[in-house]
């Protein structure tokens, strides 16, 4: 039997690559596994040999010690891989298929899944609706920043690429389908971005850049991205975005310089609960409600706010007591007075991933270029996490078996 190596959270600010068990078609006990899920049989599952598995900003929240994630948790929910074993109940997915894995784990059987709400499946997490691989309080499904991973309900969850050779040619783009591209797209769809829209996107990390890419795909007339990080703002400008440096002050004045008015039709929060204040002094201070409050100020009356940025119910590292349990000082009265619509929660990846795959395969979008997808060996994951945490304007893609490097020998590999 093959071995398995995986990226493991070992304490605040630290990850290491450890030997772990090769996956089987059963959920075993381990760090973060819900006791009610221990021993859960998955004859409907498959084992994947991971081709690409990405580092996500949501992983960074755990690694920074900003959640209740236990030490020893295997990380990773952005997975693309080749099927090497199928369970006895798998009917349509075959060994050798190259597939994208939605980060939400869903059963395909519950009332939410049947209506497309796969981010809040009722059957995969005993604690609450919704689940994901390698994430705190999500049921304990083992993470995918590894050489091999088990995917349950495979016929339902996996998105098979129609041509393996074509897929490997575009593997860095297709690797974004497991999370950030659908998540950014969902933020824009939720915000009702459409032809001719003016949209402000808070955050120029990978999800924010994916949202900006999605806004153009949806026909936006002006896409404005705000951030504190000069390198990330430069990356947004590289594919046609206007930018706002929020370290210089609140966004309204800079938006007015761009549009002639200090407001936009709609807005997307791609920052989440580790938001910082605006202005020269505020940028160094954590203010978890600052982005949401600013979006209410700059979004026109009757507009919508898409909020794919992560907010949590438990944040032991919060600077405010209320924020430790997910309570924020929102100006809800402002949003009510302006008749804003708010859309929150996990992106239901399966609502979008097939369409976005087709956009990639038919050269309608270059998401890997826009987020600077950068492959690195699995063993370099700790450096990738550190560089990302220090603001690198890159999306690090782990290459556990060297298959990306083999398919793209001209591509620079390394953090």
Dump pLDDT digits (tens) for 164-204: 999 999 999 999 999 999 999 999 999 999 999 999 999 99
Alpha-carbon 38 to chain mean position: 26
Q: Where in the chain is the domain with CATH 3.90.180.10?
A: 5-179+348-407
Kindly tell me if the per-residue pLDDT of 282 is higher than 80.
no
- For residue 412, what pLDDT is reported? 60
Kindly tell me if the per-residue pLDDT of 243 is higher than 50.
yes
SS3 210: helix
Q: How far apart are CA 216 and CA 225, in angstroms?
A: 12
SS3 415: coil
Per-residue tokens: 356: 């976005």
Q: How far apart are CA 353 and CA 178, in angstroms?
A: 8
Label the pairing between strands 341-344 and 304-307: parallel
State pTM to two decimals: 0.95
Q: How far apart are CA 137 and CA 133, in angstroms?
A: 10
Residues found in the chain: 415
183-344 to CATH, choices 3.40.50.12780, 3.40.50.720, 3.40.50.300, 3.10.530.10: 3.40.50.720
Structure letter (DSSP) for residue 31 = T
Structure letter (DSSP) for residue 142 = P
| Mean pLDDT, residues 350-360 taken together | 98
Over the stretch 117-146, which tens digit does the pLDDT of each residue have?
999 999 999 999 999 999 999 999 999 999
Phi, psi of 192 (to 5 degrees): 65, 40
Superfamily classification of domain 5-179+348-407: Medium-chain alcohol dehydrogenases, catalytic domain (3.90.180.10)
Residue 415 banded pLDDT, cuts 50, 70, 90: very low
Q: Which of 307, 300, 290, 301 is nearest to 191 (CA)?
A: 307
Q: Where in the chain is the domain with CATH 3.40.50.720?
A: 183-344
């Amino acid at each position: 039997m093959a071995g398995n190596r995986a990226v493991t959270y070992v304490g605040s600010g630290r990850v290491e690559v450890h030997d772990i068990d090769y996956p089987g078609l059963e959920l075993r006990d381990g760090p973060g596994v819900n006791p009610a899920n221990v021993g859960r049989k998955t004859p409907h599952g498959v084992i994947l040999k991971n081709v690409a598995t990405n580092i996500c900003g949501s992983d960074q929240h755990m690694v920074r010690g900003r959640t209740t994630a236990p030490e020893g948790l295997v990380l990773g929910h952005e997975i693309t891989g080749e099927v090497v074993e199928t369970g006895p109940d798998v009917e349509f997915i075959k060994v050798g298929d190259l597939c994208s894995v939605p980060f939400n784990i869903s059963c395909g059987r519950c009332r939410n899944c049947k209506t497309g709400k796969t981010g809040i499946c009722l059957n995969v997490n005993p604690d609450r609706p919704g689940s994901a691989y390698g994430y705190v309080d999500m049921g304990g499904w083992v993470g995918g920043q590894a050489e091999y991973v088990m995917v349950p309900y495979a016929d339902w969850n996996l998105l098979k690429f129609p041509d393996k050779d074509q897929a490997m040619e575009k593997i860095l783009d297709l690797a974004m389908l497991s999370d950030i591209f659908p998540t950014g797209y969902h933020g824009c769809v939720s915000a009702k971005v459409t032809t001719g829209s003016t949209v402000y996107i808070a955050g120029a990390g990978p999800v924010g850049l994916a949202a900006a890419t999605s806004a153009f795909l949806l026909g936006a007339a002006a896409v404005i991205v705000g951030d504190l990080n000069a390198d990330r703002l430069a990356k947004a400008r590289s594919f046609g975005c206007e930018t706002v440096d929020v370290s210089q002050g609140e966004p309204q004045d800079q938006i007015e310089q761009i549009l002639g008015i200090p407001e936009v039709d709609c807005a997307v929060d791609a920052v989440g609960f580790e938001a910082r204040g605006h202005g020269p002094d505020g940028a160094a201070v954590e203010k978890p409600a600052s982005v949401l409050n600013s979006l209410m100020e700059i979004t026109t009356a009757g507009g919508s706010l898409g909020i794919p940025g992560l907010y949590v119910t438990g944040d032991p590292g919060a600077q405010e007591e209320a924020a430790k349990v997910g309570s924020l000082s929102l100006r809800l009265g402002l949003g009510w007075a302006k008749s804003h619509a708010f859309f929150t929660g996990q992106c239901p990846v399966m609502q979008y991933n097939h369409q976005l795959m087709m956009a990639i395969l038919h050269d309608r979008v270059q998401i890997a270029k826009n987020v600077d997808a950068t492959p690195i060996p699995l063993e370099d994951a700790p450096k990738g996490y550190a560089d990302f945490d220090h603001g690198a304007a890159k999306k690090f893609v782990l290459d556990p078996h060297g298959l990306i490097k083999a398919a793209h020998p001209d591509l620079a590999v390394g953090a």
